[in-house]
Amino acid sequence: MSNANVFTLDGKVAAVIGAGSGIGEAVAIGAARQGAAVVCLDSNEAAAHTVARKVDGNATAAVVDIRRGLDVNAALDAIVRDRGRLDIVICTPSINVRKPILQYSEDEFDRVVAVNLKGSFNVLQAAGRIMTAQRSGSIVVFSSIRSQVVEPGQSVYAMTKAGIVQLVRVAAAEFGPHGVRVNAVGPGVVETPLTTPIKANREWYDAYANKSVFKRWATAEEMVGPTLFLASEAASYVTGTILFADGGWTATDGRFTPPGM
């Protein structure tokens, strides 16, 4: 492949899980614009179909619950039957319950782990089964800055996001000999429907904005480039890693600028 078209997704079949809103929606639209045939998957079937209608090109949609391994297998198998192959799988969904450890209920723990960690495992397993058999493919799952840095109330969320990084590394080691790459994206704070409660609290919103060297939050669209880079042949020798798209959050260790700087 020449350098001129190394970022293209022409001829690729891409499944975007979580495509019904936020980052997943932006990535689905972006992948189609780069030439991929996109399948929008989401737990909200109506939202998935709405996004599919927005997507340029031959997009379809279906419902999937990543907490259920059989559902994920069925959804990805259906894509292979319909499209003949599956080149890219991108998994964006996660949930968070912000509470101190001593206040966490068992049900809340189970809900966060089921989506973030078990769901990511289910996707890696289902996509890996298909792609290792066809001996090609790229899987991109979403971790977070919370895999590295934490704050009070983020115990279970941070645990799952750190776990995703290790899942990616092991999957990359296991799938790599079969021509399959596995990577993660680590966003900072991103303006999506799920972060609306934080945006509504000005002090909280500004505190997060000031942790970025750009002094602002990211848009969902700003996650498209890093994600599609990992999915594309531009990253043909990149696997088992996490790409932080966090506005410098994890690169800087404080907000104080010394005098004279």
Q: Please tell me the distance from the alpha carbon of residue 229 to that of residue 238, in angstroms, as a whole number.
A: 10
Give me the catalytic one of 104, 157, 205, 237: 157
pLDDT at 114 over 80: yes
pLDDT at 2 over 60: no
237 catalytic? Reply is: no
pLDDT recorded at residue 195: 84
**Inside any domain, residue 259:** no
**Inside any domain, residue 139:** yes
- pLDDT (tens digit, 9 = 90+) per residue, 192-209? 887 888 888 999 999 999
For tokens 């995703």, the residue is 164
Q: Please tell me the distance from the alpha carbon of residue 12 to that of residue 57, in angstroms, as a whole number.
A: 12
**In which domain, by residue range, is 165 found?**
9-246
**Inside any domain, residue 164:** yes
Query: Following CA atoms 249, 66, 69, 225 in sequence, which dihedral angle do they give, to the nearest 10 degrees?
Result: -50
pLDDT at 261 over 90: no
**Inside any domain, residue 133:** yes
**Inside any domain, residue 76:** yes
**Inside any domain, residue 256:** no
**Inside any domain, residue 1:** no
Q: Please tell me the distance from the alpha carbon of residue 247 to that of residue 192, in angstroms, as a whole number.
A: 16
- pLDDT (tens digit, 9 = 90+) per residue, 21-78? 999 999 999 999 999 999 999 999 999 999 999 997 689 999 999 999 999 999 999 9
Number of structural domains the chain divides into: 1
Residue 110 sits in a domain whose CATH number is 3.40.50.720
The number of beta carbons lying within 10 Å of the beta carbon of residue 44 is 14
**Inside any domain, residue 174:** yes
Task: Output phi, psi for 31, to 5 deg.
Answer: -65, -40
Q: pLDDT category, 256, cuts 50, 70, 90?
A: low
pLDDT recorded at residue 21: 96
Q: Please tell me the distance from the alpha carbon of residue 106 to that of residue 132, in angstroms, as a whole number.
A: 36
